[in-house]
Structure 1
């Protein structure tokens, strides 16, 4: 009998009242919804956030077939572990094996077949090598993201794409207020997937600062890639860049909604909250 440990990715969710039928068990059709939730998280975790990860390689995935076998019912408030693994990548198809457990009790097993299609023609085409690489890297527990550090001329195009999406598109900051002279002298870090899709960024301003000090700023992660550790990866990369430059004190202006994130990585608040581009901020510092 299969178990969750045989799957490369497991997503946990809880049975809600609306998913239970008159027999007081989960209605059978909801298991495909659980699969859909878990497969979206799987793509996100392996560096292919939907839909950007597929659009980057000019494609999309269409469901071709789905089969499932019921073993036991799930009930209200059960915690479900949905296991996902890629069993096969064919020419244009991707076969996903999946299963669901509640407290170790097997509920459902199944197989889903997706077809990779061209965005323009909506016709099946070969699965790109870059997509195969992401799946393979995750299955073999290798990194599915890569980090680059450099000047604005070296990595600015990728950093710009993320900042436009997050600060201008999502948060509504006027684009005229997003770009400043500090970009030219800062060191920037960018996280991409293995195909080069920009997912996160941040910058370190050290020129023109007091000796031994620097500022972290413009930390941003695409909405579709949040929750997989990219923010921490960016901040740790910037801290590493600071240490290489013998920086002993880092400061940043954290959006108040992200203050807890920076606190978990050792930054402490300093001074009162203040407004910056219409958003509440808190100055925070870290001694290196």
Structure 2
């Protein structure tokens, strides 16, 4: 088995995972793999479960084969390598390994079966899923960014904003949709199968000359920590610059203030409440 893996996930052994022999209990290694697989799907542009729901299917483990080479101990920093070895008609075969400080601990092979949600029976692996995994294996982008007006991007933008603002954050639907959408410039990021996962908008209408406002920035929970928010924000900044804008403002949720500061935005004024969530005004001069 080759040791070249297209994806790695890292985690530390916890005290509760060590048995009376003072090493990691053997059954925990499959838990480690399962944790790594959920991150693998995320990195492949298939956030679980939304990514598979969009494909109208799911994956179920059919078999696991493990070989133990050395024990892991409390506090060890584990590196879990995962690679899709081959894809059959309805099966996906993954090989994996776990190491600590370069020392090989466990190797394994896991077989999943793609199952139709409609029939609960094995079904052919969709071509779009094959494409996502192939692009991930090559280190190529697994997401695409689109920009345009509300008429062309309303549906995907609504999908993301509904999931993040209305369902996750509990913002009333009446507070989410406004007349600015129809006049704004929108950006949407989706996976290669067409699942929208991130969005944002740029408002210039009604703003003072040379100014614009960025808002409705959202990323699906399962697709965060992949840099997609940064992609959306940069695309909106570039759109503002192309329009000759000199100053961009936004109302940042306080929890996201550091995210905007990394992009050069500076806070202005005190915190304030907006739709029941602490916000702060931030600005960027172009």
Instruction: Return the TM-score normalized by structure 2.
Output: 0.99
SS at match of 1:273: strand
1:203 corresponds, among 180, 201, 204, to: 201
1:51 corresponds, among 37, 49, 52, to: 49
Instruction: Return the TM-score normalized by structure 1.
Output: 0.98
Moved over 6 A (4+): none
- The separation in 1 between residues aligned to 2:217 and 2:261, in whole angstroms, is 15
Q: Does 1:66 align with 2:51?
A: no
User: Between Structure 1 and Structure 2, how many residues are aligned?
Assistant: 286
Q: Does 1:279 align with 2:281?
A: no
- The separation in 1 between residues aligned to 2:71 and 2:238, in whole angstroms, is 50
CA deviation map 1:144-186 (0-9, x unaligned)? 0001101110001100011011100011110001011110100
Q: Does 1:17 align with 2:15?
A: yes
Which residue in the other structure is 2:114 paired with? 116
Which residue in the other structure is 2:129 paired with? 131
2:79 corresponds, among 78, 81, 87, to: 81
- The separation in 2 between residues aligned to 1:159 and 1:273, in whole angstroms, is 27
CA deviation map 1:253-274 (0-9, x unaligned)? 0000111111111111011111
- The separation in 2 between residues aligned to 1:131 and 1:7, in whole angstroms, is 19
Which residue in the other structure is 1:156 paired with? 154
SS at match of 1:239: helix
Structure 1 residue 2: Cα displacement = 4.7
- The separation in 1 between residues aligned to 2:282 and 2:103, in whole angstroms, is 46
SS at match of 1:139: helix
- The separation in 2 between residues aligned to 1:177 and 1:16, in whole angstroms, is 43
SS at match of 2:60: strand
- The separation in 1 between residues aligned to 2:88 and 2:227, in whole angstroms, is 30
Structure 1 residue 141: Cα displacement = 1.4
- The separation in 2 between residues aligned to 1:281 and 1:48, in whole angstroms, is 31
- Structure 1 gaps of 5+ residues are none
Which residue in the other structure is 1:175 paired with? 173
- The separation in 1 between residues aligned to 2:248 and 2:95, in whole angstroms, is 46
Question: Cα RMSD over matched residues?
Answer: 0.9
